[in-house]
Structure 1
């Protein structure tokens, strides 16, 4: 399995018991939808290795308590501590037509209500406190905050993201 075919589910943040249970901080608004998983992929030295789940439960709000079949001691758990978990893209829950996952909109044409054609959406930077659309306009990068108020319409069939951003936001990248 390649990372490009997967989505980031979360990170192992701590051990939970001396029997090898671990806690995963999930990167989701809906942790309940991941309680019935049979397995996950763990990034071990840039390779995604499958681990099979013996049992899982929610711990606090967005922590998932997992017991893997292969992990039976604290020492085993130490090997996977701070590692990232991934699932195949096919495991993503279906979204409504006006919702999207970041990976789905890469390559979409971006237009703005006032400005017109902006460019092509190259990526979404979600490593900052505010996620940003990274748009390429003839070699120049335009950054637009991912904000529901700025998204006017999403046209998935035609691959167009229609924005309505504050006046001057796009122009400041072009001067």
Structure 2
């Protein structure tokens, strides 16, 4: 299976003729339609995307094979995935979230902090969720140069400088 990157999600139906409300995860939201047909997460369905109009909370879109409001509602929450080779190459200091998940995170002294389990973006910048040995709860670390000076995808590791944690 070709490696794929999540580029959007279906937020629900829009209108009565099978249009969906699409949430784009691309840096330019309208680019989601330019990455060729998009796959369902399980790779069993392929959708051609045609954007129709901006809507509250996303984009209105027509997906191939989605003809009725019921078809569109059934897809609510589904993610859409593009083949990696259809996506633009990123500059050296930018990364696709899927490339970071699973990487080992070490402090500057080489001590394992944990593994990136998820990445969150609540509007003020990305946050890495790191979980690892001896941790009772995940470490949430801002994904900035100050806290994460080194990302080496090829070596499968991140060097981080987390703030001191209290022993509560």
Taking structure 2 as the reference length, the TM-score comes to 0.71
Q: Which residue of 2 aligns with 1:140?
A: 134
How far apart are residue 25 of structure 1 and its match?
1.4
**In the TM superposition, what is the alpha-carbon distance from 1:84 to its structure 2 partner?**
2.5
Q: Is the 8 A contact 1:109 1:119 kept in 2?
A: yes
Aligned counterpart, 1:154: 151
Residue 112 of structure 2 is aligned with which of 115, 119, 122? Answer: 119
Deviations 1:6-40 (A, max 9, x none): 33333212322332111111234331332313322
Query: Any unmatched runs of 5+ in structure 2?
Result: none
Partner of 1:104: 99
Q: Is the 8 A contact 2:52 2:62 kept in 1?
A: no
Q: SS in structure 2 opposite 1:48?
A: coil
Partner of 1:23: 21
Match of 1:104, SS? helix
State which structure, 1 or 2, has the greater radius of gyration over its C-alpha atoms: 1
Deviation at 1:145, TM superposition (A): 0.7
- Count residues with an aligned counterpart: 162
Select the residue among 84, 89, 97 that pairs with 1:94: 89
1:50 paired residue number: 45
Can you give the 5+ residue segments of structure 1 that lack an aligned partner in the other structure? none
The alpha-carbon distance between structure 1 residues 81 and 133, as it changes in their structure 2 partners (threshold 3 A), is: closer
- For 2:73, what is the secondary structure of its paired residue? helix
1:36 aligned residue (34, 37, 51): 34
- Kindly provide the CA deviation profile for residues 66-94 of structure 1, in whole angstroms up to 9, marking residues without a partner as x: 21231222233233233232233444432
Specify whether residues 121 and 60 from structure 1 end up closer, same or farther in structure 2 by C-alpha distance, changes over 3 A only.
Answer: farther
CA contact (8 A) 2:149 2:160 kept: yes
CA RMSD of superposed structures (Å) = 3.3
Are 1:165 and 2:162 matched, yes or no? yes
Cα distance in 2 between the residues matched to 1:76 and 1:110: 42
